[in-house]
A and B are shown apart, each in its own frame.
Chain A
Amino acid sequence: MSLTETEIKESIIDTYTKVASNGRLVAERFYSPEELQGLPTSAVELALGVGNPARHAALQRGEVVLDLGSGAGIDTLQTARKVGPTGKAIGLDMTPEMIRRARANANAMGMTKVEIIDGPMEAIPLPDASVDVVISNGVINLTMRKSQVFREIHRVLKLGGRFCVADMLVNGELPEDVLNHPTAWTG
């Protein structure tokens, strides 16, 4: 029997609430030492992405950037440094524990132009045409409604705005019992 959207969402929140650090293994794969320097240990050791979209988004000082599925904040904080004090980095997540960690990490860095908000990426709680750039790292694969997420990205972007996401994809067909395993949806 197929998992429902609610079951998948509950499984994702449960998994990301309980996830433990695996050291710097993921962070060191995708970020340079310079990019990691000065970031809180909690943000670095809970990097769970599959790329480095903030590096490839050509971020400019003064831009407003939304990070979908911000987790403990590694990409949001890196973004905040790139856009500077005249810009703003907004992290969006639906897991209360990750929101708490990201806010704590932003506070630890003294970042005042970082906002971490609670909500689903399928219904982003931001006005139309309110951000310059949307980034996301290993998160859009978690939803069954990927087209809806891109509709929301399109809605919140200003005209001329851009997105850059890194994600994990499947090449071919996964066996049905793998597709219906909750862990296959949470990773």
Chain B
Amino acid sequence: MFGEKAAKGGFKTIEVFDRRSMTLDELAVYPLFTPEFLAWLKRSIPPAQQDRIIYTAHIRGKKDGHV
């Protein structure tokens, strides 16, 4: 999705790499999420989706033109 957004932003050379899934349990290391929120998230998202609904990636691009 970010690749599409970057293309809409004007970038033509775009690379997505280092894509990794992030489980709901892995979100627990972030202090932004309370245990109560994570428990609610687990109840709200079907178990079959919980380990693959979130992923992380790096996106790299270049503004085309003379260097």
Contact = CB atoms under 8 A, between A and B. Distances in A.
Interface of A: 15, 19-22, 25-26, 29, 48, 50-51, 53, 56-57, 140, 146-154, 157-172, 174-175, 177-178, 181, 183-184, 186-187
A167 B53 contact: no
A143 B29 CA distance: 22
Interface in B23-59: 27, 29-34, 37, 40-41, 44-45, 49, 52-59
Nearest to A53: B58
Given A159-B63, A160-B67, A166 B52 contact: no
Contacts of B31: 19-22, 48
Nearest to A21: B31
Contacts of A53: 58
Contacts of B33: 183, 187
Contacts of A20: 31
Contacts of B37: 181, 183
Contacts of B67: 159-160
Contact of B56 (A151, A163, A169): A169
